[in-house]
Structure 1
């Protein structure tokens, strides 16, 4: 981020903080305080990509969060959404893809502090040990987590989630058999490999333009308790708990502060409207379903 943009964001954060405090207190009184769910990718000191956060900065981010928010699990996020009430500032943490470097500092730090975390992994990379295609395209060969690492993380209390079999844009795939393999079969295989249930799914990319109603329905019918998107947005009490919205975390501390403290700019992002649960067969021609979500 450029120094000028950093300065502007810092000024915006400081200027809007009093209003945010008033809004949070009012929302807490009425029990409709939104919950921010954050997602990381890779924590390592080289900061080679836009989705890499340095170890020291990660520690400072976690310290800042745990001193100001109740750190909760995705299951607890869903419970508060389902019950339609949240009166305490709360944040949940997730990771996407599954980078081996995260096991050096990031995950041990979360375990040390007892911070819940859901860790979404792409199965094919974990099994083969091959770097992710999006890293290779930039000339990097960061190693993915191994199955043994994932099993150890799950044994230590980290919730392992599915990030499909391959890191592909599923919105471009129309073959029902392949979609079932990517979403359902891969999740079941992952659960068998790590010896723990896989309850949550995060779609690769996760933008509202890459989601389709048949993908969501397949995840629901496949037995997942919920899915995560990745286009920003808060989780409000009373919203459909099957869809958990998330903000990306990068190496900019002020951006994290803005998003965690309920940034008015992100209260109403473009959203994906989830169709009601249905027992009807999925069809090849099922089309995406978008709306401007209320939250």
Structure 2
């Protein structure tokens, strides 16, 4: 597991593009037959990707976490972004089609990822945060997620937000997770921008063509920077940073949050005049 430390926003103003990418961009989460994870000191969030092929992949990293099993002190939200797959949780099987979500709570000892057809593997994306109590393991297909329509074609941000793990959906300790789908010919997300200094956030961009890119905007409102992001790459967003993006075409992204509170609407709007 790769480890990323927190960053002072004042220091970030001096970062080169290479340093900015090494601190915040996760470029290689998805490798066939492997599991790759990044441990962030922002709210101790673990972000990972797994592509099981001929053999299942076990959710485990005892050396980094110093626990007997991964979810001994944690919870995890999982979304499949590939072909059909299965997740086994302490012997119980959950089948996930593309864009289905599974929440697995504190105390479950063995979680393994499987592809239904190894020649067309599943791609499991997951985000894990610290937990203080057990909530039931629960699957929610995208059809049952809470949809919120936002934006307009005139602003190039016509999109649907699907909430999976949140106060009125799947219950968790502190993890919130959902997915945003932009309609064709719409490229902007989270603009006007906002902050939530009580929570960090992670964005995974996917459903992008090979040559398409998202320009992810981050940084303090008065000191913005950008990352050029490819398909199936993720970005760590500190609590003090905006998190917005514009693509060369429409795309889908998964957002996940963890931190001080459990209120999706806890956001501090940023006035457009304050963006620089």
- Compare relative contact order (CA 8 Å, sep 6+) and give the higher one, 1 or 2: 1
Give the TM-score of the pair, scaled to structure 2: 0.34
- Max radius of gyration: which structure? 1
Q: Which has the higher helix share?
A: 1
Larger proportion of strand: 2
TM-score, normalised on structure 1?
Answer: 0.33
